[in-house]
Amino acid sequence: MPSDPQVQLLLTGNEIMSGDTVDSNSAMIALRLADIGLGVYRKVTVGDDSALLREELEAMAGQADTVIVNGGLGPTVDDLTAEVLAAAAGVGLVEHPEALAHLEDWCARRNLPLNAANRKQALLPAGARVIPNPVGSAVGFELALGDCRVICTPGVPGELRRMLDTIVDELGRSLARTAQRHILRLQTFGLGESTAQQMISDALPDWPAAVELGFRAGAPQMEIKLAVTDAADLPQRDRCERQLRQLFGDHIIGEGDTQLAARVLELLQARGETLTTAESCTGGLIASMLTRIPGSSAGFHAGFVTYANDIKTAVLGVQQTTLATHGAVSEQVVREMALGALERSGADYAIAVSGIAGPEGGTEDKPVGTVWLAWGSVDKLQTACLLWPVERGLFQTVVAAAALDMVRRRLLGIASEPRYFSQRRAR
């Protein structure tokens, strides 16, 4: 079994260097390489500067088995890839009949003349092999530079995507094996990265070296990744997984890309039940998180954004006296919001949220970051008051997620409180 080739990426383009364009191409390439078990060792990005580009290309080709170059294949003067690769290989640029035929066809189908700028895209290093571009005008190409295989790809994401089908397929076949990194991803909510790391260090001091552990803290979820390179280490990974599941228990939402909203909808659908939302400080975000999921209409029919007090009364039937006595951010009000939403929507479960997102509106008694949640059914409505004193947008995101997490726990029959309650509970 041959060892993995070392792959490096070389990206070129002034627009990615200046920050005017965010590079998503290298992520696309890395994800596709991961499908055939290849990692990217190193990535270098430079502007449209032929001397620097050549220097980086030569350095990379001296280290790596495969270099994928992205960008610089277009028709304009700042597209330098073919010229630089030819110079590095000590060959000339020649018009490739296959590339020219592609260009002629591409122009003809668009009723465009083949102008000089376009024709430049048929000039490739002598000896290069053409990689077809099913969507754009510029073909890709491949050439050996010493022992290194250099593959040049277009910067337009839609063209790159299609060309990667060919490239990844060929690379996979040339590896002539099925070796692949075995990755398991667990999605969690309510654990910080440092808390998770500390819990693992404390509880599992003998973590095996073969099992790579990674964390990705997003808002609102955190991903824990377990990876092994050798299939023989899978039993070790499985043991680690069982240990993590014991350690983090009901903070684990699911595997892969599972999102809280999708998990809640899945649990609802399995029971043929529905959820409604009554939102004040989250302002429609919970409804939006739910409806972003395809097929959400099975479990979610109605949501209410009652941002003003009189709307809480008019739309959800919250008593004016309740608002006057306890204030809009109170247990009594979120209870009445939830009950009003349940009655008006006919849903089985409700989430109600009222809090102070800031930056204005806090008081000594109820500072910015205070939020009351109610969740559950007409029979059993639960409530909690939490304190999350963070920036407005993040507050809305974590509160919306916490509300969905409460419903997830309820639907799963989890009785214990989440860890974050002990830290966040305000009263």
Which residues 42-81 are close enough to bind a second copy by CB under 8 A? 42-48, 52, 56, 74-78
Among 51, 108, 203, 314, binds a second copy (CB under 8 A): 314
Q: Which is nearer to a second copy, 129 or 255 (CB)?
A: 255
Among 165, 169, 170, 310, binds a second copy (CB under 8 A): 310
C-alpha distances (whole Å) from 91 to each of 42, 49, 54, 143 are 27, 20, 14, 11
* Of the residues 129, 242, 245, 301, which one makes contact with a second copy according to CB under 8 A: 301
Residues whose CB falls within 8 Å of the CB of residue 419, separated by 6 or more in sequence, listed in order: 190, 191, 195, 251
DSSP assignment of 121-135, as one string? GGEEETTPEEE--SS
Residue with structure tokens 């949220």? Answer: 353
Residue count (the chain) = 427
Question: What is the footprint of a second copy within residues 262-281 (CB under 8 A)?
Answer: 277, 279, 281
427 interacts with a second copy by CB under 8 A: no
CA dist list (Å): 157 to 27, 58, 71, 130: 11, 25, 10, 19
306 binds a second copy (CB under 8 A): yes
Structure tokens at 17: 């260097």
- CA atoms of 373 and 148, how far apart (whole Å): 59
Which residues is 328 bridged to in the sheet?
none
- State the nearest-atom distance from the C-beta of 322 to a second copy, in Å: 18
**Residue whose C-alpha is closest to residue 357's, from 315, 313, 390:** 390
Q: Among residues 283 and 327, whose Cβ is nearest to a second copy?
A: 283
- HEC assignment per residue over 189-217: ECCCHHHHHHHHHHHCCCCCCCCEEEEEE
Please report whether residue 303 would count as binding a second copy according to CB under 8 A.
yes
Task: Give the nearest distance from C-beta 174 to a second copy in angstroms.
Answer: 21
Report the candidate in 303, 257, 271 with the shortest Cα–Cα distance to residue 403: 303
229-268: contacts with a second copy (CB under 8 A):
none
Select 12 or 332, whichever has its Cβ closest to a second copy: 12
Stretch that binds a second copy, among 64-72, 231-239, 295-303, 329-337 (CB under 8 A): 295-303
109 touching a second copy, by CB under 8 A:
yes
Q: If you ran DSSP here, which 8-state letter would residue 272 be given?
A: T
Q: Which of 37, 208, 284, 317 binds a second copy (CB under 8 A)?
A: 284
Interface with a second copy in residues 6-45 (CB under 8 A): 14-24, 26-31, 34, 39-45
> Could you tell me the smallest distance in angstroms from the CB atom of residue 315 to a second copy?
6
CB of 341 to a second copy, least distance (A): 10
CB of 168 to a second copy, least distance (A): 13
Are 337 and 354 spatial neighbours (Cβ–Cβ below 8 Å)? Answer: yes
Of the pair 259, 330, the CB lying nearest a second copy is at 259
The phi and psi torsions of 319 (rounded to 5 degrees) equal -65, 135
Q: Which stretch binds a second copy (CB under 8 A): 91-99, 124-132, 241-249, 355-363?
A: 355-363
State the distance between the two ends of the chain, measured CA to CA, in whole angstroms: 61
Q: What is the DSSP letter of 417?
A: P
| Residue 294 contacts a second copy per CB under 8 A | yes
Region label for 396, one of left (φ > 0), alpha (ψ between -120 and 50) or beta (otherwise): alpha
Judged by CB under 8 A, the stretch of 65-73, 232-240, 287-295, 377-385 that binds a second copy is: 287-295
**Nearest Cα residue to 188 out of 218, 163, 233:** 218
Closest distance to a second copy from the beta carbon of 202 (Å):
9
Tokens of residue 202, six digits: 């404390």
Question: Which range in 125-133, 243-251, 297-305, 375-383 contacts a second copy by CB under 8 A?
Answer: 297-305
| Closest CB to a second copy among residues 127, 223 | 223
CA angle centred on 180, ends 176 and 183, rounded to 5°: 170
> Within positions 145 to 184, which residues make up the interface with a second copy, using CB under 8 A?
156, 158
Token pair for 401: 């997620």
Residue 154 CB, shortest distance to a second copy, in Å, is 11
373-396: burial string, b at 16+ Cβ within 10 Å, e else: bbbbeeeebebbbbbbebeeeebb
The one segment of 164-172, 212-220, 239-247, 370-378 that binds a second copy by CB under 8 A: 212-220
Does 5 contact a second copy by CB under 8 A?
Answer: no
To a second copy, the closest distance from the beta carbon of 64 in angstroms equals: 13
Residue 317 contacts a second copy per CB under 8 A: no
| Interface positions, 359-398, toward a second copy (CB under 8 A) | 359-360, 387, 389, 391-394, 396
